[in-house]
């Protein structure tokens, strides 16, 4: 199943289907400046823990 992309790069708008893809992208392209964007509701987070908490709490993922 594709289609549900939950990890977005806040620098260039690219989206990824898993965290490792995003981290690898941010590492290579943006010098590890990583922003997490919830594709479901467009909220932005600057830390993984905040992002995960949001997903768990608001989307139950």
- Pick the binder of Zn ion from 6, 34, 36, 38 (CB under 5 A): 38
Contact partners, residue 19, CB within 8 Å, separation at least 6: 7, 48
Could you tell me the two tokens for 44? 């932005």
Is there binding between residue 12 and Zn ion (CB under 5 A)?
Answer: yes
> Can residue 40 be called a binding residue for Zn ion (CB under 5 A)?
yes
| Integer Cα distance of 4 and 55 in angstroms | 13
Taking CB under 5 A as the binding criterion, the range among 15-23, 29-37, 44-52 that sits at the site for Zn ion is 29-37
Tell me the site size for Zn ion, rule CB under 5 A.
8
The secondary structure element, H or E, covering residue 8 is strand 7-9
Q: Nearest approach, Cβ of 46 to Zn ion (angstroms)? A: 14
């Amino acid at each position: 199943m594709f289609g549900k992309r939950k990890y977005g790069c806040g620098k260039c708008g690219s989206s990824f289907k898993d965290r490792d893809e995003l981290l690898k992208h941010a590492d290579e392209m943006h010098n590890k400046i990583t922003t997490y964007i919830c594709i479901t509701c467009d909220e932005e987070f600057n830390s993984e823990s905040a992002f995960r908490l949001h997903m768990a709490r608001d989307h139950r993922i």
